[in-house]
Chain A
Amino acid sequence: MSALAGAVVAALEPGEGTAYDGFGPVTVDVPRERWVEALEAAHAAGAVFFDLLTAYDLGPDGFAVVVHVASADARDHVLVRTTVPRDDAVLPTATGVYRGAAWHERETHEMFGVGFAGHEIAPLLLPADFGAAPLRKDFVLAARAARAWPGEKDPSDSGGRARRRTLPPGVPADWPEAGT
């Protein structure tokens, strides 16, 4: 485990922060209540360079929010990650620790509908009345709903025998079909 990740884990109660040493930088999973403390610990340990904050959709498990911060002096970096439930997707803001997180929180709020308590969020990229979070998995992609999947054709369709219908990979089965 890198020194930065160790500092983040050490700042939390035993068992609260779990470090995952993957293929890239170490990822420290923290409970959402300790989000700001974890970031403060990373900052205090030298990770003063804020790279990014973003989220990804875990489906029924909610959203993962991840921050990547680095220390140029120590040539070390760490990912701090937490999860928020779908029906209460709110995190305390990271802008108190890293002011540069403001734009990223605005974008994450627009794209995933994750709220950041203590941060007055103004629209960043989308029109103010867009009314949906387009990077959520349940957001229907217009390009996938408006057009028929070219892979549905089958050269043996002229045979008359009913075949098992093939579905496009990666497109949920409950999305509307083209023309409906």
Chain B
Amino acid sequence: MTPDARPPRTRGVIALVEESCTVCMLCVRECPDWCIEIDSHTETLPPDDTHRRPRTNAVLDRFAIDFALCMYCGICVEVCPFDALHWSPVAEYAATSPDALVHERDRLASWEATVPPPSPLDPHGVVEDPGPRRPSPRG
């Protein structure tokens, strides 16, 4: 079965949207298989027009998923508060050594193009348009 013929919910591989990752470590800590590894550092941003004080910002250095350990439970995808992880139906990444099943951030990011669009809402989940909202008293 080609990836296109599989249902969109298929759990083939996990795609990473690097721009959405805030290095919160939730996926690493929730993973029951310990198969996600994140390296990061913090950098200090100087004050600018909108921030009067210096800020620290976590920067992602390494994001790797070991698909030799992964059991495809999807807890990391569920737990990510910023939608940085998505299921892709692509499963064609067999390898001849366990090391080659460790997908680093470049490879994880490359799967993003294969993530299907989100499925439409359940008919009963769509709320009818309540019309224009009343302006709030505080403006």
Contact = CB atoms under 8 A, between A and B. Distances in A.
B98 to A, nearest CB: 14
Interface residues of A, number: 15
B29 A159 contact: no
A50 to B, nearest CB: 30
A87 interface: no
Interface stretch (A41-49, A51-59, A128-136, A147-155): A147-155
Contact of A168 (B23, B34, B58): B34
Interface string B13-42: 000000000010100111110101111111
A158 B44 CA distance: 11
A155 B29 contact: no
Contact of B32 (A155, A166, A170): A170
A156 B37 contact: no
Nearest to B26: A151
B34 A147 contact: yes
Contacts of A158: 41-42
A158 B41 CA distance: 7
Interface in B61-116: none
B70 to A, nearest CB: 13
Nearest to B25: A151
A179 interface: no
A22 interface: no
Nearest to A143: B34
A154 B41 CA distance: 9
Given A155-B23, A159-B42, 16 more contacts: A149-B34, A150-B31, A150-B37, A150-B38, A151-B28, A151-B31, A153-B25, A155-B40, A155-B41, A155-B42, A156-B58, A158-B42, A159-B56, A166-B29, A169-B29, A169-B32
9 contacts: A147-B34, A151-B31, A153-B28, A153-B39, A155-B42, A159-B42, A166-B29, A169-B29, A169-B30
Interface of A: 144, 147, 149-151, 153-156, 158-159, 166, 168-170
